[in-house]
A and B are shown apart, each in its own frame.
Chain A
Amino acid sequence: MGKENDRIKPFSGPPEETLDYSKLEGFIGKSSPFHEPHDEVTRSDIRHWCEVMQDPNPMYTDEEYAKKSKYGGIIAPPAMVQTWSLDDMHDALQRFVHGNQPFKEDPHNQLFDVLDSEGYNGVVATAQEQTYLRPIKPGDVIRGKITLARVSKYDHFTRQGIGRYVDILYTFVNQHDEEICVESFRVLKYKPPMDTRRLYEG
């Protein structure tokens, strides 16, 4: 390549080489084992959620009221289901700040590692669908497993930058192995630094 090529570039340059899908394909359809939650479900967890959401529903916080309902006691807001499956503080900071994945052997984490190493190390959740099957009660132990469903074959150009979408499926069960929720979750793994401030500031 001559010096001229550095100085004068064609308007539409040759496409950049991007991540080859074959590096990702092998993880599709694979599942993690069920992981134990950081905490059992407690009334204080439920109160914290309801206060942030400003949800006065007595089913969630008023034991006397809830006793008379068909559940026979307090239940957790169904949208809370994923709360107990997220990393504890230590693991989250290891994962997001120090690049040290917990549960490295899980297929979705292996895939995220590949994406990270290819420069797609930003992550943002973009869509979620939860179907609630059974109520969650204080004292429940909610375990979750993750199945890798789909990854973009090519790059997407998004507000966040260049990225690949990853669809994962969660299955949540309680201590009786009853399914309480199934969820599909879409994250965008994108390439920072991409200063998106200009996009949002108008």
Chain B
Amino acid sequence: MSLSQVEEFVGKESSVIQAPDEVSTSDIRHWREFMEGKKESWNTNIAPPPMMLVWAMDPLWPKKVDATEPHEQVLRLLDDAGYTIAVGIALDQEYFEPVRLGDQLSYKVKVVSVSSAEEETKMGKGYKVNLLYTFSNQKGEVVSKQSYTILKSQMLTPVS
């Protein structure tokens, strides 16, 4: 693979990406039921903070065809080089403001670093891609920053 191409994107940040939905009662309740078990009533006014990345998931359809943002391009270059499996290996979330029912979130993704060579990890060999997500609400307040590390690998060979 051409590492020089990947390096071009390190330090670059995406444009502002809108979450596909406003924060809704059903999204919050689904998460809470899954994580907390069944309850008689649910707090759907505030979203559990760890849920944040739910609103950064790409729609199921229509499929995005162009990898235009820096982080998408990095992941695609690794795909093209045969590192086709992606697995999240680290997540560091910091929360600043509550996410409330009806909020319309948006986010930016910055490519912080990419391994300069194939690394050995407990999951197998591959390239680590570290991304910084910055989430804002409709008032422009930063609600969360998240450092997310993805391992791109040709084959997962976990070792204990």
Question: Do A and B interact directly, with beta carbons closer than 8 Å?
Answer: yes
Which residues of A approach B to under 8 Å, CB–CB? 38-40, 42-45, 47-48, 51-52, 54, 88-91
Main secondary structure of the interface of A (DSSP, over half): helix
Q: Is A39 in contact with B25, judged by CB distance below 8 angstroms? A: yes
Q: Is B22 in contact with A43, judged by CB distance below 8 angstroms? A: yes
Q: Is A40 in contact with B37, judged by CB distance below 8 angstroms? A: no
For this complex, 16 residue pairs linking A to B, each with C-beta atoms less than 8 Å apart, are A42-B24, A42-B26, A43-B21, A43-B24, A44-B21, A44-B22, A47-B20, A47-B21, A47-B59, A48-B60, A51-B60, A52-B60, A52-B61, A54-B62, A89-B30, A91-B38
What are the interface flags for B20-49 relative to A under an 8 Å C-beta threshold, 1 for contact and 0 otherwise?
111011110110011001100000000000
Query: What's the least CB distance linking A74 to chain B, in Å?
Result: 12
Q: Is B26 in contact with A44, judged by CB distance below 8 angstroms? A: yes
Q: Is A51 in contact with B25, judged by CB distance below 8 angstroms? A: no
Q: Is A51 in contact with B61, judged by CB distance below 8 angstroms? A: yes
Query: What are the residues of chain A within 8 A of B30 when measuring CB–CB?
Result: 39, 89
Q: Which of B59-104 contact A (CB under 8 A)?
A: 59-62
CB-nearest residue of chain A to B38: A90
Number of B interface residues in the complex (CB < 8 A):
17
Query: What are the residues of chain B within 8 A of A90 when measuring CB–CB?
Result: 33, 37-38
CB-nearest residue of chain B to A54: B61
Query: What's the least CB distance linking B107 to chain A, in Å?
Result: 17
**Complex partner residue of A44 from B24, B33, B34, B38, CB under 8 angstroms:** B24
Query: What are the residues of chain B within 8 A of A42 when measuring CB–CB?
Result: 21, 24-27
Q: Is A38 in contact with B20, judged by CB distance below 8 angstroms? A: no
CB-nearest residue of chain A to B55: A44
Q: Is B27 in contact with A44, judged by CB distance below 8 angstroms? A: yes
Query: What are the residues of chain B within 8 A of A48 when measuring CB–CB?
Result: 60
Query: What are the residues of chain B within 8 A of A40 when measuring CB–CB?
Result: 25-26
Query: What's the least CB distance linking A102 to chain B, in Å?
Result: 10
Bound Cα distance from A32 to B21, whole angstroms: 35
Query: What are the residues of chain B within 8 A of A89 when measuring CB–CB?
Result: 30, 33-34
Bound Cα distance from A91 to B38, whole angstroms: 9
Most chain-B CB neighbours within 10 Å: which of A44, A47, A52, A89?
A44
Query: What are the residues of chain A within 8 A of B37 when measuring CB–CB?
Result: 90
Query: What's the least CB distance linking B105 to chain A, in Å?
Result: 12
Query: What are the residues of chain A within 8 A of B20 when measuring CB–CB?
Result: 44, 47
Q: Is A39 in contact with B38, judged by CB distance below 8 angstroms? A: no
Query: What are the residues of chain A within 8 A of B59 when measuring CB–CB?
Result: 47, 51
**Complex partner residue of A88 from B22, B24, B38, B62, CB under 8 angstroms:** B38
Bound Cα distance from A54 to B61, whole angstroms: 7
Bound Cα distance from A154 to B59, whole angstroms: 47
Bound Cα distance from A39 to B33, whole angstroms: 12
Closest 8 CB pairs of A and B: A42-B24, A90-B38, A44-B21, A39-B26, A51-B60, A51-B61, A42-B26, A44-B24
Query: What's the least CB distance linking B48 to chain A, in Å?
Result: 16
CB-nearest residue of chain B to A41: B26
Query: What are the residues of chain B within 8 A of A39 when measuring CB–CB?
Result: 25-26, 29-30
Query: What are the residues of chain B within 8 A of A38 when measuring CB–CB?
Result: 29
Query: What are the residues of chain A within 8 A of B25 when measuring CB–CB?
Result: 39-40, 42
